[in-house]
Amino acid sequence: MAMIVYHSGNSLLHRLDPRVKMILLILYTMVVFGVKSFSILGILFALVLLLWKSAGLPLSRLKKYLAYLTGMIVFLIIIQSFFLPGNINLVKPIFPEGFPILPGRGFVSLKGIVMGVLLGFRLFVLIMLMPTFIMTTTVNEMAVGMVRMGLPYKIAYLATTSINMIPSLQDEATTIMEAQKMRGFSVFEEGRFREKMKAFPALVVPLVIGAMRRAQAMGVAMDARAFGAGKSRTYRLTLKMTGSDWAVFFLMVLLAALLMGGAFILDREVSLWNRL
């Protein structure tokens, strides 16, 4: 079930300096958020897919992400089509004009559907983007990268140990569910959605208590090994920007700029469906 774990390998993406990866991740996240054009999003999608392939990340994961996201995407489409006014409505407004709440809304607008699909697509590309960093960078590389970019090391470690705890939390959730199943509690296996929601605290409460206890024990263990001794610390891992790191960095920044420019030029495409 583990969704975010380091996936070892020796690809270009694995070898790339973590700082470059971090900055590019932020940059491309902004690009994905800023783009309204389907064609550019399509190009971004293809690009990220290419990164997944080249880094040897398991493409089967993508199906799982899509499965997780389906509900969210459907929800986005419904909300958008209901409330985003457009020129073509498939259904007459449920709330008539002059109605005290949401006057004139509650239609199914074509524009809303398109917008919902766009937001869903965007979300999917965004979710795909994360693993290209998280699954190709060790927690230690992340920490050292963040510190080298000026973040205080305690914050960097807070962030990275949290990421590091995710797999063990997932294991623990599985263990709790197994233990509950053994006592005849099988809502999470075969229950309906509402039953699952009701039973949620039974899973979350022990999980949170366990996580807190573990975090506390880990804190003591870190203290016992001199964590927080000084304002700074040293690192076994040394980072050095190589020529290819710079090359990748500039190429990817250039590409991001081109995509943004392309999105600007393709503004006509956007205005086309904006007219719907």
- Binding residues for other proteins, per CB under 8 A? 6, 138-140, 161, 164, 168, 214, 217-230, 232-238
Tell me how far, at minimum, the Cβ of 235 lies from other proteins, in Å.
6
Under 8 Å between Cβ of 265 and 33? no
CA distances from 39 to 48, 56, 243, 268, 270 (A): 14, 26, 32, 12, 10
CB closer to other proteins out of 216 and 244: 216
Tell me how far, at minimum, the Cβ of 129 lies from other proteins, in Å.
22
CB closer to other proteins out of 222 and 265: 222
Query: Which residues are 109's β-sheet partners?
Result: 89
CB closer to other proteins out of 54 and 161: 161
d(CA 219, CA 225): 10
Residue 158's contacts (CB-CB under 8 Å, 6 or more residues apart) are none
Tell me how far, at minimum, the Cβ of 73 lies from other proteins, in Å.
33
Tell me how far, at minimum, the Cβ of 54 lies from other proteins, in Å.
22
Q: How many CB atoms lie within 10 A of CB 1?
A: 8
Tell me how far, at minimum, the Cβ of 19 lies from other proteins, in Å.
18
Q: How many CB atoms lie within 10 A of CB 129?
A: 22
CB closer to other proteins out of 29 and 170: 170
d(CA 193, CA 138): 36
d(CA 220, CA 214): 10
CB closer to other proteins out of 235 and 246: 235
Under 8 Å between Cβ of 92 and 107? yes
CB closer to other proteins out of 101 and 226: 226
Tell me how far, at minimum, the Cβ of 178 lies from other proteins, in Å.
18
Tell me how far, at minimum, the Cβ of 27 lies from other proteins, in Å.
26
Tell me how far, at minimum, the Cβ of 33 lies from other proteins, in Å.
30
CB closer to other proteins out of 159 and 199: 159
End-to-end CA gap in the chain: 41
Asked whether the CA dihedral 263, 268, 271, 273 is positive or negative, the reply is: negative
CB closer to other proteins out of 99 and 235: 235
CA distances from 139 to 114, 204, 242, 246 (A): 39, 26, 21, 22
Contacts for 264-272: CB closer than 8 Å, 24+ residues apart: 266/37, 266/39, 266/40, 267/37, 269/37, 269/38, 269/39, 270/36, 270/37
